[in-house]
Amino acid sequence: MKGHQSQDKAYWIKRNVAYFLCICIIIVDNGMTLNTYFDKNKWKYMMNTFKEMTDPSFTKSQLKNKYDGIKKNWRV
């Protein structure tokens, strides 16, 4: 659907996945989260940082879907 970015499927290249994971690691390593999840402010931080590092800007739901997919694929 044009005009509804949250409905569009995000296209992820390897470099952007690496940037996204680095941002997640920075949040955890800097003690910015005390729980096993990211709150609204952390997702906003991720969106802004990701936008600064890469060309595409993704919505919170697109980033969260990628995060959930990565967690699902890497469970032991």
The per-residue pLDDT for range 1-27, each reduced to its tens digit, is 344 444 578 889 999 999 999 999 888
pTM: 0.78
Split into its structural domains, the chain has a count of 1
Which range of residues forms the domain containing residue 48?
29-76
Half-sphere exposure of 68 (CA within 13 A, CB side): 6
Contact between 6 and 58 (Cβ < 8 Å)? no
pLDDT band at residue 75, thresholds of 50, 70 and 90?
confident
pLDDT at 52 over 90: yes
- Determine whether 63 is exposed, middle or buried from the number of CB atoms within 10 Å of its CB (0-12, 13-18, 19+): buried
Distance of CA 5 to the CA centre of its chain: 15
pLDDT at 29 over 50: yes
Helices (H), the chain: 14-29, 40-53, 60-73
